[in-house]
Amino acid sequence: MEPDYLATVLLSSLSSASILLIATLGLAVVYGLMGVINLAHGEFLMVGAYSALTATQIGIPYVLAIPVAVMITMLIGGVVEVLVVRRLYGRLFDTMLATWGLGMVFNQGAVLLFGTVSPGIGMPQYSIRIGEFSLAAYPLAMIAVAAGTLAFVYLLLTRTVYGMKARASIQEPEMAQAIGIDSSRINMLTFAIGTGLAGFAGAVLLPIIPATPSMGLFFAVKGFLTVVVAGPVALTGTALTAVGLGGGASVTASFMTSVIGDVFFFLATALLLWLYPLGISSKWRRKL
């Protein structure tokens, strides 16, 4: 095996894992901090993608379209929390069913609003060369974006007043309420941050994954499994799982076939859940 091929495989697998991590982080935050599995997460990603796309179409530069998409998805997420999710706390399966249905509504809503196909914005035409191989630069940039997003969420949850309140509300809800934390407001904010992260993912991945009404489906399964395998330690667990599963699948696909890459992903998931039914982080002592 030539060293240049090996280097490209490692780099691009890391970028694949980063893409999975970016797409999953919002789901992990909502699950880790609220115990809610948001099955409409993929559709929030889609909403983010269409928001960014529409913003660029009306002349906003792409870099500024990303925060626009985050704001729109946060707003919708907040409304969904108040109207739907709030009424179903503690009822895991009911929440899953409700958010699943919500996803269908979003999906069809996108068809009615945008039609079945919209022009993509394309990928920046930059590439880097390693020996005989050439790699598209934008997907590689996602490694830095994933690291940055992870650091941002970590700092948000550990170094801000909101973060402390959010963790208090989920770890000791009664005590938190007793000392005057408005846990329902905090939960609304947490859900909005989760959907905002989905919107960010949809917007920042738009050059790689074009906006289509059904694009959420493609992330729903893998994102969901990643979060379940990660377990209760939302951030570190998800980052580790995304690199292990996503990166592993990509490396496998590079040396064998894409189908075997997928097989690796699902077999590894099954094996890990068999070994750690509550997720790989269930016995860790850290909290995030």
Residues that bind other proteins (CB under 8 A): 5, 8-9, 12-13, 15-16, 19, 107-108, 111, 115-127, 132-139, 207-210, 212-215, 217-219, 221-222, 246, 249-250, 253-254, 257-259, 261-262
Nearest distance, CB of residue 23 and other proteins, angstroms: 9
Residue 154, judged by CB atoms within 10 A of its CB (0-12, 13-18, 19+), counts as: middle
Nearer to other proteins, 65 or 188 (CB): 65
Nearer to other proteins, 40 or 181 (CB): 40
Nearest distance, CB of residue 246 and other proteins, angstroms: 8
Nearest distance, CB of residue 195 and other proteins, angstroms: 20
Nearest distance, CB of residue 48 and other proteins, angstroms: 15
Nearer to other proteins, 139 or 244 (CB): 139
Nearest distance, CB of residue 10 and other proteins, angstroms: 11
Nearer to other proteins, 84 or 123 (CB): 123
Nearer to other proteins, 126 or 284 (CB): 126
Nearer to other proteins, 200 or 219 (CB): 219
Nearest distance, CB of residue 265 and other proteins, angstroms: 10
